[in-house]
Structure 1
């Protein structure tokens, strides 16, 4: 600071040498720095600079009327911090460390600020607030810590502040619509893990409950608003939009008094990976153009390109097979009898009894001493692949601090299983099964003509040849937006001969075009069919085949794909190369709301479907990409993952949210045992 010029104006008649202005300026900066780690808020405080001048000695007022300091005080003088109990503190004015000459002014401004109302979250893209030096004079100014300086290629600081105001309005509306007792019930359901993928919204439910409790502990409406403003400033992206999120769907059902079964089914439909945060319609041309602009601003065009990961790139392992320890030594033995191969000593392997345990216990008691692990691959929906960025130098688009993501082969097939079982049908344990799913209230019907020429459909659901339509949806007054139909023959009950499955649009209740998917399972082999149903009366053959007991059929269709796209033999044991967590858990700052998964990476396992898996899912992307998720959904659905020929980080995956039913063959200390893992913990 220039000690010769520490005044506001050029009033030569006033001697300010005893005012201690430099100490006053430093006191402001020091007090402001004590709030470096806390969010700041704007208020409706007015008349601050006038109060400052009026509290100074009359003869000194003219000396302190510079426009730079007037601008600083009026623009930033009302900034406050909010405590956990909703009380506000001035971040600039503190009389305790202020030189005596300015104490009265500081008290006057502080009094105005503490009586004011919070109006928003303060955001600035400028590091320095105020103008420290101008025209050779020093002025009031403070500096924001680097982490508080707002930077975005998409929005200005003003736009971000406007969005925070909208978040406050939406969150307040949610607090009114969903009382604490409803939130408490939601939290009980979520923490019981009785709802599918409940961990995804457990955080926002706890956030809402804590906010309700804090607000109820005070009856002062202004303090309650302050508590809400603090929540808005500190909440993760999307937490404030209660009504339009999955927590809103759950709370709506609780408030409406629905049964647990209905709540559970509706929640599972929304939370399934095939639906959650995924657009159900194609993006408009305007959406695509907006997405192009955002991608260009963020410089992430190359970030969207994804390729299969290799085993060597994985750095985080829970267990890794050390092949080198099992290889024979390359050291040559020299001597007269070096050409003689000695008899190998092979201790007898001990077969230990089968054991059932949780993953947590297995990891704690067995995994550390395991020399070799094999997994029995018996469910194709468990097959998974790790994916990474094609361009390792491109900006990361994921929520966590590494470029790796994953997809399960199950995807929409897993959705078929979920819908069949949720509706009371039988998905597993069948000799022949055909399932049909679609979206919307249109009434599509699944039909089958059996080898005995019987017709199984909604009008005749059970045949004499043991076939049964055990789920029929959207007929009559029944309406379900995520319907399924299911025709099946239990094991040992299917007749040999010709089967014809087809779909019929009995009643169109949409736009006249209804995409659908059919899944045929015969003796454990799964085939899928994708189609689009036209208006009422539309018919299309799905699968035609001649069935021979115990054999896989020769399907007469041009629009189906077999489920053997992965080069692993189902119902066989495959060697494990390594075990790892899902990438969202690799870093110190874990993104736990994206799920807890354990991946068993298998030797030689690979997805051979020409890279048709998902390079990313919208729910795993950074929040600034939310507004273009329709376009991103279309992009990842239509853009193959690269380098499928080099994929070596594929295997089977298991989640904390579901039953495992995993069979492992463990070898250690010349003993082999079969262990079945039934669940996470």
Structure 2
């Protein structure tokens, strides 16, 4: 390995000019480069350098005893690649192209490597493995391709390798616990799209199914382990943690023989955006300190700040109104006071019959020729806003390659029953029930003044007229991120007369604006109200009605957001400025596991509550941030989205995972038609 051609051993001069060491070094580099696009693995191969020396002619060994080459061979000589059927290949030693002088040594080392056991996924933050040159000597070394070099300020390469070893252990345990038959049933259920947001779990279910089949196709336990190691190296983040993830819950329910209705209901509750991957308790001081370190190392302090997007920033549209781009044509000429004929005013518009179709059909058949589109805003849960990074130059924190994300106003809704029952309250079997939900650690309180003038609230939870506040949250030192309060009268126990329900903000622990929902049920009839609580001391009367036994009270329809939540008129058609899909689908590499949504951006629509707590959702963030999700949840719950007054990319949204029930008014080719879209496809 010396650049000189001679070396003395026991006073015997050795000439290494015929060894062809430079060619041997190049063969190692070339052979290693053929695995550039494949993951590498460590093995328990030992004693490689000693075998290398012993396989060389005795007189030449002293020439190849340098510590640099010893370190390279012993540390990296055992690296392997794994094929789809579990066979290992040495990534360093190629006896077919090695110069004759080194062939025997390479064969012996290769034989040891191929008989060894895989011990982990190889990850390195160094691009060059080995030391190519030192003190005029040339040594064995190889170079990793750029995409394989680990770059992260959060964890070291050794820490990630340790995590991969733990992933292997957990994945093996999951494969042992859940049979292929159970996984097949899970895949069938998920592919049927009968489970809410099933696309988020289908990927890991198919991953487990394919891995089970591959392992069963070989009876060699060593090959089975190798196949599993390959799966660990290539699996998306979180796929290996079977038992503790949503797929584990689904598989447990299948194995326990639960009914489809129960499985479906339980799956929907856990996959609800208000609950999925969201911390339900405040972060510990240790988690906050860890978050500070990670944010500093990743340089993403500014990345966490979010603002509302404006319509002109949206880079991708499926449809865009021409009117949104029109400039004013008003002049100061002689006839400027004369109002011209409106080109869009059609005196003989033809009204076509109402039609029901899927979004897929609407997009293909109707959308290309639509001149004007209006949406019936009749469900506050569909209201949404697109947000983006306040600092456009800050590093991305999202899983996709653009800074945009979104939230639904209805993200806190649709789960009142789950929260009431989870907290030990009674949701069903009541004559009168009133429930309040919100997000965050603010202490909102639900109050009721009864027909007898009694006051039911946190200070007096039971009344003589059988009313009872059975759930009270976020008072005192109690903290719950998904709180609920519940006042109820069991069947047959409610008094006749006037009831007054109101919401009071006892202690504000956020930005001063807290969206909430109140649901009133009287004799099985449900009424709901969406509002926004102001700062500490805020009070708002929600329901006032006279109750007659066995009858439904005369309550105005309040199934929509209150006027101070979103500035759109409920139960009315609103003009569409543009139609786009969700930002995770804008780029060439689409992140479909984050959902598939269609957004109708509406003229003049914006969230007046400033979207508290919805700057980002943990499930959309990069995997490096998973371990500090409790702190991030608390951060986004208490940090308003900026530039609310300039928001212009807001509207209503619909997903592939749910029923649509969307009514549109379409003007096209001198005709107006009402179209109802019932589902995605």
1:264 matched residue in structure 2: 264
Confirm or deny: 8 A CA contact 1:127 1:145 kept in the other structure.
yes
- Pair 1:58–1:339, CA change in 2 (3 A): closer
CA apart distance, 1:200: 1.0
1:643 shift after superposition: 0.6
1:529 Cα deviation after fit? 9.3
Aligned twin of 1:208: 208
Q: Does 2:230 correspond to 1:237?
A: no
Offset of residue 382 of structure 1: 0.5
Within 1, Cα distance between the matches of 2:598 and 2:155? 38
Which position in structure 2 is the counterpart of 1:600?
A: 600
- 1:188-199 equivalences under 5 Å are 188-199=188-199
User: Paired residue for 1:477?
Assistant: none
Deviation for aligned residue 1:414: 2.6
CA 1:420 to 1:603, structure 2 compared with 1: closer, same or farther past 3 Å? farther
2:671 paired residue number: 671
Task: Return the offset for 1:415.
Answer: 2.1
Question: Take 2:340 and 2:150, find their aligned partners in 1: how far apart are those partners?
Answer: 73
Equivalent residue, structure 2, for 1:578 = 578
Give the Cα separation in 1 of the matches to 2:416 and 2:351. Answer: 39
1:421 and 1:362 mapped to 2: Cα distance?
A: 40
The alpha carbon displacement at 1:151 in A equals 1.1
Name the CA distance, whole Å, in 1 between partners of 2:421 and 2:190. 21
- 1:7 Cα shift? 8.1
**Pick from 526, 529, 552: which aligns with 2:529?**
526
Whether contact under 8 Å (1:356, 1:677) holds in the other structure is yes
User: Per-residue CA shift, 1:504-527, capped at 9, x if unaligned?
Assistant: xxxxxxxxxxx9986135996614
Q: Quick one: distance in 2 between partners of 1:208 and 1:49? A: 39
Give the superposed CA RMSD. Answer: 4.0
**Aligned CA distance change for structure 1 residues 85 and 374 (closer, same or farther; 3 Å):** same
Cα deviation, residue 673, structure 1: 0.4
- Counterpart check, 1:587 vs 2:590: no
Distance in 2 between the 1:666 and 1:91 partners?
A: 62
Correspondence for 2:65? 65
What SS does structure 2 have at the residue aligned with 1:663? strand
CA contact (8 A) 1:566 1:607 kept: yes
Write the distance in 1 (CA, Å) between the matches of 2:288 and 2:277. Answer: 18
Shift of 1:496: 10
8 Å Cα contact 2:545/2:555 also seen in 1: no
How far residue 576 of structure 1 moved from its aligned partner, in angstroms, is: 0.2
8 A contact 2:14–2:60 mirrored in 1:
yes
Give the 3 Å change call, closer, same or farther, for CA 292–359 of structure 1 in structure 2. Answer: same
Give the Cα separation in 2 of the matches to 1:338 and 1:595. 51
Structure-to-structure mapping, 1:337-348, within 5 angstroms? 346=346, 348=348
- Distance in 2 (CA, whole Å) between partners of 1:421 and 1:660 is 27
Contact 2:7-2:15 at 8 Å conserved across structures: no
Q: Deviations over 1:122-178 (max 9, x none)?
A: 011111111111121111110001111111101111111111111111111111111
The question of whether the paired residues in 1 share the 8 Å contact of 2:318 and 2:579 is answered with yes
Could you say if the C-alpha distance between residues 9 and 121 of structure 1 is closer, same or farther in structure 2, counting changes exceeding 3 Å? Answer: farther
The one-character-per-residue Cα deviations of 1:203-253 (angstroms, maximum 9, x if unpaired) are 111111111111111111111100110011111111111111111111111
Cα 1:322–1:528 change in 2 (3 A) is closer
Deviation at 1:416, TM superposition (A): 2.6
Task: Give the equivalent residue in structure 2 for 1:120.
Answer: 120
2:251 matched residue in structure 1: 251
The answer for the alignment partner of 2:134 in structure 1 is 134
CA distance in 1, matches of 2:187, 2:17: 63
Distance change (3 Å), C-alpha of 1:338 and 1:163: closer
Three-state SS of the structure 1 residue aligned to 2:14 is coil
Structure 1 pair 135–622 and aligned structure 2 pair: CA distance change class (3 A): same
1:486 Cα deviation from its structure 2 partner: 9.4
Whether contact under 8 Å (1:529, 1:542) holds in the other structure is no
**Equivalent pair of 1:14/1:59 in contact (CA under 8 Å):** yes
Deviates most, 320-329 or 204-213:
320-329
Change (3 A) 1:136 1:365: same
- CA–CA separation in structure 2 for the residues paired with 1:58 and 1:276: 66
Q: Deviations over 1:624-659 (max 9, x none)?
A: 111111111011111111110000000000010000
State the distance in 1 between where 2:212 and 2:324 align: 58
Q: How does 1:599-678 map to 2 (within 5 A)?
A: 599-678=599-678
Asked if residue 99 in structure 1 is aligned to residue 111 in structure 2, the reply is no
CA contact (8 A) 1:370 1:666 kept: yes
Q: Distance in 2 between matches of 1:630 and 1:341?
A: 59
Tell me the residue number matched to 2:387.
387
Asked whether the 8 Å contact 1:420–1:486 carries over to 2, the reply is: no
Hey, what does 2:34 align to over in structure 1?
34
Q: How many Å separate the matches in 2 of 1:624 and 1:65? A: 42
Q: 5+ residue gaps in structure 1?
A: 427-431, 440-445, 457-467, 474-480, 489-493, 504-514, 532-539, 554-560
Farther off after superposition, 400-409 or 253-262 = 253-262
Task: Give the C-alpha shift of residue 613 in structure 1.
Answer: 4.6
Match of 1:223 in 2: 223
Q: Work out whether residues 436 and 485 of structure 2, in 8 Å CA contact, stay in contact via their aligned partners in 1.
A: yes
Q: Structure 1 residues 417, 359: CA separation in 2 closer, same or farther (over 3 Å shift)?
A: farther
Distance 1:592 1:389, change over 3 A: same
1:413 is aligned to 2:413: yes
Change beyond 3 A, Cα 1:525–1:64: closer
- How far 1:323 sits from its partner (Å)? 1.2
Distance 1:99 1:356 in 2: 74
* Equivalent-residue separation in structure 1 for 2:371 and 2:520 (angstroms): 37
1:545 aligns with 2:548: no
Q: Is the 8 A contact 1:425 1:486 kept in 2?
A: no
Distance change (3 Å), C-alpha of 1:652 and 1:168:
same
1:84 partnered with 2:84: yes
Q: Kindly indicate whether the alpha-carbon contact (under 8 Å) linking 1:5 and 1:138 is maintained by their aligned counterparts in 2.
A: no
2: CA distance between counterparts of 1:566 and 1:516? Answer: 11
Could you say what secondary structure the match of 1:207 adopts? helix
Cα 1:372/1:541, change in 2 over 3 Å: closer
How much does 1:545 deviate?
2.2
Residue aligned with 2:96, SS: helix
Preserved contact between residue 3 and residue 22 of structure 1 (Cα < 8 Å): no
Instruction: Name whichever of 309-318 and 51-60 sits farther off.
Output: 51-60
Cross-structure match for 2:75? 75
Aligned partner of residue 410 in structure 1, secondary structure = helix
Partner of 2:158: helix, strand, or coil?
Answer: helix
- Alpha-carbon spacing, 1:201–1:169, altered in 2? closer, same or farther (3 Å): same
Distance 1:395 1:495 in 2: 60
Report the CA distance between 1:111 and its aligned residue.
0.5
Partner in structure 2 of residue 478 of structure 1:
none
Q: Distance in 2 between matches of 1:276 and 1:230?
A: 29
Structure 1 stretch 11-20 or stretch 202-211: which is displaced more? 11-20
Pairwise CA distance, 1:344? 7.5
**Post-superposition offset of 1:610:** 3.6
